[in-house]
Amino acid sequence: MYRFQNYKSIQTLEERKTPNRLSRILIFSTLILLIVLLLPWTQSISSDGKVTAYNPANRPQTINAIIGGKIEKWYVQEGQFVKKGDTLVYISEIKTEYMDTMLIERSESQIKSKESSASSYMEKVQALDNQIDAMIDNRAVKLIQSKNKIKQGKYKVTTDSMDLVAAANKLDIAKKQYKRTEGLYDKKLKSKTDLENSLVKVQQLEAEYTSYENKLKVSKNEMDNLISELESIDADYRDKIAKSESDKAAALSSLYDTEAQVTKMQNEVANYSIRSGYYYITAPQNGFISKALLSGIGEIIKEGSPLLSIVPSESDMAVEMFVDPVDLPLIHVGNKIRLQFDGWPAIVFSGWPKLSYGMYTGIVSAVDNYISENGKYRILIEPDPNDHKWPAGLRMGVATRGIALLNDVPLWYELWRKINGFPPNYYENPAAKDKSEISKKD
């Protein structure tokens, strides 16, 4: 060792006080590190999204063709501003059943013919009603007349019966007188002439009795005929009325069928008129033509084919973001979100939001209850009215980076949490917390 002492470089190295200076640097660095680890750190959840509209009516939309046809003329260009009702595209008809230029007029003429036919059926129904009423009245008159004849026949039968009884009494008396005359003739107290006259009287009364008997039978037969005639009149008129009712029902059926055809044809004419209004495709609202999805003239399109897209000029800006299911319990309606928009430079310190620059504030306005196709939950964020406004140049679809601010914790805790893979500290929604406290007090 002593042999190295003769070297000047060795002597210089031994004279340096390196350990003392290095220790001071290490101590100073350790103090700074401890101070940094004790600094407050704001926990956060980051997610990507894009600018959209809060109201679905103000979001970009595709304008489709309602009917199939052939493109005849374009009235707009991409990027052009249009007002609600402005004509965008004109298409012509390609279906043969709609190509007649006089289709509506001819259909209306057919409707008038059918309406006239319906009026004729209505008149027929009214005529049959009148006919049925007349037959009902005639039947009532005929029945009254027939009943009166039956009454007269009853009176005649009664009279003929009394005449027959009287004739029977006369015949009985004549027969008794004849027997007495015959007895007196045998005793020679009456002459043969008296006997013969008595016999002739008996024979006359027998003939008269037979005549009255036949007359009574004729009256009874006439009575039976009158009753049968009464039943025949009622049945005949019932048959006629039923036939008229059947004709009326058939006329009403034809009337209803014609009215149904008229209604159907009126519906078709209305559809023709509405369809003709679909040839000119108009703007549903004020906005800018974003992109023409079809090009050229003469191209055949189907029903529902997309023609162009339009971006509404007036929209309520919002941000659509997607969060992981594990972070969903930390997001509530009313939470504030820090936003960074593409195209607007920003300096971001997620742990120290107050030191960030170029960030904008939003408030969670809606959280989906069902998971999206990408396996995340969608949330909508609207501007914070109490913070500075979002950039005026924002457009639909601008990519956005959102940071949801959570608890304030020491930096060392956040590093320890991430090293161990623990989730951020769960915190309650202020509104929900207030409600729970109120319910507990009640």
Q: Name 364's Cβ contacts closer than 8 Å, sequence gap at least 6.
A: 331, 332, 333, 334, 335, 336, 337, 379, 380, 381
3-state SS, residue 431: helix
Q: How far is CA 139 from the centre of its chain?
A: 53
| pLDDT, tens digit, 9 for 90 and up, residues 324-341 | 887 777 788 888 888 878
pLDDT value, residue 90: 92
Strand-pair category, 336-341 with 81-82: unpaired
Tally of residues, the chain: 442
Q: Which tokens sit at 81?
A: 């501003």
CA–CA gap between residue 417 and residue 119 (Å, rounded):
89
Strand-pair category, 306-312 with 300-301: unpaired
Q: φ, ψ for residue 398 (rounded to 5)?
A: -65, 130
How large a percentage of the chain has pLDDT more than 70? Answer: 82
Quick one: which H or E segment has residue 434?
Answer: helix 430-441
Q: What is the dihedral sign for C-alpha 267, 269, 273, 279?
A: positive
Q: Which tokens sit at 437?
A: 């406290």
DSSP 97-130: GG--TTHHHHHHHHHHHHHHHHHHHHHHHHHHHH
| pLDDT, tens digit, 9 for 90 and up, residues 214-244 | 888 888 888 888 888 888 888 888 898 899 8
Least Cα distance to 390 among 419, 362, 369 occurs for: 362
Q: What is the mean pLDDT of residues 398-417?
A: 71
Least Cα distance to 332 among 233, 433, 239, 243 occurs for: 433
CA angle at 369 for the pair 363 and 370, rounded to the nearest 5°: 125
Q: How many CB atoms lie within 10 A of CB 318?
A: 22
Q: Which tokens sit at 109?
A: 């003429």
Domains along the chain with CATH numbers: 41-58+315-409+416-441 (2.40.30.170), 61-93+279-311 (2.40.50.100), 103-277 (1.10.287.620)
| pLDDT, tens digit, 9 for 90 and up, residues 50-95 | 888 888 888 888 889 888 888 889 998 888 999 998 999 999 888 8
Q: φ, ψ for residue 46 (rounded to 5)?
A: -110, 145
| pLDDT, tens digit, 9 for 90 and up, residues 138-180 | 888 888 888 888 888 888 888 888 888 888 888 888 888 888 8
DSSP 182-247: HHHHHTTSS-HHHHHHHHHHHHHHHHHHHHHHHHHHHHHHHHHHHHHHHHHHHHHHHHHHHHHHHH
DSSP 376-405: SEEEEEEE-TTSPPPPTT--TT-EEEEEEE
Q: What is the pTM of this model?
A: 0.55
| pLDDT, tens digit, 9 for 90 and up, residues 254-271 | 889 988 998 998 898 888
CA angle at 236 for the pair 231 and 241, rounded to the nearest 5°: 125
